[in-house]
Amino acid sequence: MMNIKSYLLFIPLLLAGTNSRLQNAQVWNNKQCAVVLTYDDAIDVDLDNVVPALDSMKFKGTFYIIGSSPVVSKRLNEWRGAAKEGHELGNHSMFHPCDGSLPGRSFVGPDNDLSKYTVSRAVSEIRETNTLLKAIDGKDTRTFAYPCGDRQISNVFFYDQLRKDFACARGVSPGLQTIDKVDLDNVDCYAINGQSAEYMIDLVKKAMETHTLLVFLFHGVGGGHNLNVGLKEHSQLLHFIKQNEKDIWVAPMVDVAEHISKYQAAKGK
């Protein structure tokens, strides 16, 4: 048994741990965690399936737009309408260049091979995409997502020149992080391709338990892309989040990134 002296020494440690957990539980707008729903590549199902589903739950998502996508030019007014409803139009570059020199990149054509780019070309195309997106939504602040998760050109991190242009950049590596550990230059996320609703819901539960940021990366929802999640599974995820929204802060990436930035600045990170 613990004697009185040992118990008295243990109490401050117990209280410190409790206070730490309470503090972590309060940093996400007084919710247990933050969940960000992101959708890549500007495809038809974003507007046909995803926006209506999110709107039905009163959730706001982030859509990472490829500027050259024909779905942008053909459905410009619908993208503008989504932005007016509070969804973020994020920047996913003009032509979605990926590093074709890496293994498994046979799908990368010579015109969109990031390894053949100069840093200045990559930066210019991304800034041109920002100009296009502002013409659609009128906004100056948004976030970026690395095409294929590729961050370097000839060992140079090109985002270093773009840091002031964005609230953050979303990567592709999986992870749940507390607010003080989030790297706004490369935000972790979970890419979804065929996983079950149970898998996705378990991630949300884990984020709630650990008071962390959870970012989902979707492409097709109910088709439209070779990386896909079923409509039913996506709907079940949204319904679970809705049922627990008193404990989950759901917001676009830009809102969460600005919140994290302010927190980290205040803590001197």
43 pLDDT band (50/70/90 cuts)? very high
Q: What is the pLDDT of residue 6?
A: 54
Three-class SS of the chain: CCCHHHHHHHHHHHHHHHHHHHHHHHCECCECEEEEEEEECCCHHHHHHHHHHHHHHCCCCEEEECCCCHHHHHCHHHHHHHHHCCCEEEECCCCCCECCCCCCCCCCCHHHEHHHCCHHHHHHHHHHHHHHHHHHHCCCCCCEECHHHCCEECCEEHHHHCHHHCCCEECCCCCCECCCCCCCCCECCEECCCCCHHHHHHHHHHHHHHCCEEEEEECEECCCCCCEECHHHHHHHHHHHHHCCCCEEECCHHHHHHHHHHHHHHCCC
Q: What is the pLDDT of residue 163?
A: 97
Q: Is the pLDDT of residue 49 over 70?
A: yes
* % pLDDT > 90, the chain: 89
Q: For residue range 129-168, what is the model confidence (pLDDT) as tens digits?
A: 999 999 999 999 999 999 999 999 999 999 999 999 999 9
Amino acid identity of residue 121, one-letter, is: R
Residues in the chain: 269
Q: For residue range 93-128, what is the model confidence (pLDDT) as tens digits?
A: 999 999 999 999 999 999 999 999 999 999 999 999
